[in-house]
Amino acid sequence: MSNITVCARFRPLSSKERRDHGDSVCIRCIDTETFILKDEKEEDIIFSFDRVFCEKSDQAEVYEFLVLPIVRDAVNGINGTIITYGQTGAGKTYSIEGPGILECGEQKKGILPRVVDGIFEHIKPDKMAKYLIKLSMVEIYMEKIRDLFDLSKDNIQIKESKIEGILLSGATEMSIIDPAEALQSLSTGIANRAVGETQMNTASSRSHCIYIFTVKQELTGDKRMKTGKLVLVDLAGSEKVEKTGAEGRALEEAKMINKSLSALGNVINALTCGSGRANHIPYRDSKLTRILQDALGGNSRTALLCCCSPSVSNASESLSTLRFGARAKHIKASPRANCNEDKYSKKNEALCPDKDESCKRIL
């Protein structure tokens, strides 16, 4: 059993925050793990996380500490999940995607393109090992799961399999053969998210976006096949409805988001405050918690990035984000490599459609 990794990230002050509230910040970093937040009552609250990334921290630092160990495990059949949590504008999407998924420069590249590079760097296809990498991309909007690779699939159902765990039934799985192709697919999915936005007249922070990489590894002479699932979750903004002054559709969206994020909080509470025996964990209370069932207390290495604004004007939202992270730190999980024996079954023949040299390139 291991605890989930919880980190905090503070983005630089935005120009609006500087204009409205000057340079004053509510955060003081003490060392790489400890920091102090001054709340609205001017009281100091001390936090100790696995790592704190202050405004000067760059994307590479976040990736190397939080994500790289999980990528290394995923290519060896161990599930991994990376979740970004925080109010709208706190830096969740910046951390995951970077300022743009294609061409934003090496330094600013987000977790997602680095994961793509990491997977292809760590797999070693040769005569002994073949790999198949698949990618799905969905969003949860108003408690419906929408396939971002095929917008006609707008109500994907969740299924559970004994071998593969939680599955999105019928969601498109793109086979990817190199990093460039993966980035192209991701950029299509992100663009599709924007299509939905204009149709629904909403903003991307009103939905939870989920990226799922599946890495299958087949070893010659070994009957088993290893499958690692790597899930990245860019959650919707966690701000309170009252603060946003939302009305109409925006209010309905906010209620749904609050409901699913509350369900996430309840799952975390049940996992950490329970008797330690088989107490009920309410995974089924929302689509989000059901999808994250493996990640929270199950068969997955999980990391949570709590994204915050450092501005005094957002101190109460940052405090609530950090309290969420502090509770999540107590969750225990038991990740293990996923091996199955059905390597030679019909279903898996697709693994190596072409039994010659080109396999090496494809897998």
Cβ proximity to ligand ADP: between 111 and 333 the closer is: 111
Kindly state the smallest distance separating residue 354's Cβ from ligand ADP, in Å: 41
**Is residue 205 within 8 Å of 246, Cβ to Cβ?**
no
Written as one letter, the residue type at 77 is G
109 lies in the site for ligand ADP, by CB under 6 A: no
Residue 86: name its binding partner from Mg ion, ligand ADP, none (Cβ under 5 to 8 Å by kind): ligand ADP
Residue 265, annotated ligand binder? no
Q: Which of 185, 192, 205, 207 binds ligand ADP (CB under 6 A)?
A: 205
3-state SS, one letter per residue, for 321-333: HHHHHHHHCCCEE
Sequence-distant contacts of 341-345: CB under 8 A, at least 24 apart = 341/223, 341/224, 342/225, 343/218, 343/222, 343/223, 343/224, 343/225, 344/223
Q: Is 297 annotated as a binding residue?
A: no
Say whether 93 counts as a known binding-site residue: yes
Binding of ligand ADP at residue 94 (CB under 6 A)? Answer: yes
Residue from 77, 189, 237, 310 binding ligand ADP (CB under 6 A): 237
- Of the pair 96, 292, the CB lying nearest ligand ADP is at 96
Among 5, 79, 81, 88, binds ligand ADP (CB under 6 A): 88
Footprint of Mg ion (CB under 5 A): 92-93, 205
Q: Do 119 and 339 contact (CB within 8 A), yes or no?
A: no
Residue 12 interacts with ligand ADP (CB under 6 A): yes or no: yes
Q: By the 8 A CB rule, do 71 and 303 touch?
A: no
- Nearer Cβ to ligand ADP (204/293): 204
Figure out which of the listed residues 26, 68, 90, 137 binds ligand ADP, where binding follows CB under 6 A. Answer: 90
Residues 6+ apart with CB under 8 A from 112: 96, 97, 98, 101, 186, 211, 232
Q: Name the token pair of 311.
A: 């501005």
Candidate list 34, 61, 99, 128; residue touching ligand ADP; CB under 6 A: 99
By beta carbon distance, the residue nearest ligand ADP is 91
Q: How far is the CB of 285 from ligand ADP (least distance, A)?
A: 24
Cβ-based nearer residue to ligand ADP, 319 or 333: 319
CB 228 within 8 A of CB 338: yes
86 carries a ligand binding annotation: yes
Question: Residue 288 to residues 126, 263, 336: CA-CA distances in angstroms?
Answer: 38, 8, 23
How far is the CA of 58 from the CAs of 33, 100, 114, 307, in angstroms?
Answer: 16, 15, 13, 14
Contact 212, 230 (CB under 8 A): yes
Closer of 92 and 193 to Mg ion (Cβ): 92
Closest separation between CB of residue 21 and ligand ADP, Å? 16
Nearer to Mg ion, 99 or 274 (CB): 99
Neighbours of 99 (CB within 10 A): 13
- The answer to whether the annotation marks 89 as part of a ligand binding site is yes
Nearest to 35 by CA among 238, 325, 331: 325
Contact partner, 77, from Mg ion, ligand ADP, none, Cβ < 5-8 Å per class = none
x/- map, 280-309, ligand ADP, by CB under 6 A? ---------------------------x--
- Give me the least distance between CB of 29 and ligand ADP, in Å please: 14
Instruction: Quote the least distance from Cβ 228 to ligand ADP, whole Å.
Output: 26
Q: Does 63 bind ligand ADP (CB under 6 A)?
A: no
92: annotated binding-site residue? yes
**Conformational region of residue 13, where left means phi above 0, alpha means psi within -120 to 50, and beta covers everything else:** beta
Structure token pair of residue 257 = 């988001």
Helix axes 248-273, 315-328, angle to 10 degrees: 40
User: Residues at the annotated binding site for ATP?
Assistant: 86-93
Residues that bind ligand ADP (CB under 6 A): 11-12, 14, 86, 88-94, 99, 205, 237, 307
User: Residues at the annotated binding site?
Assistant: 86-93
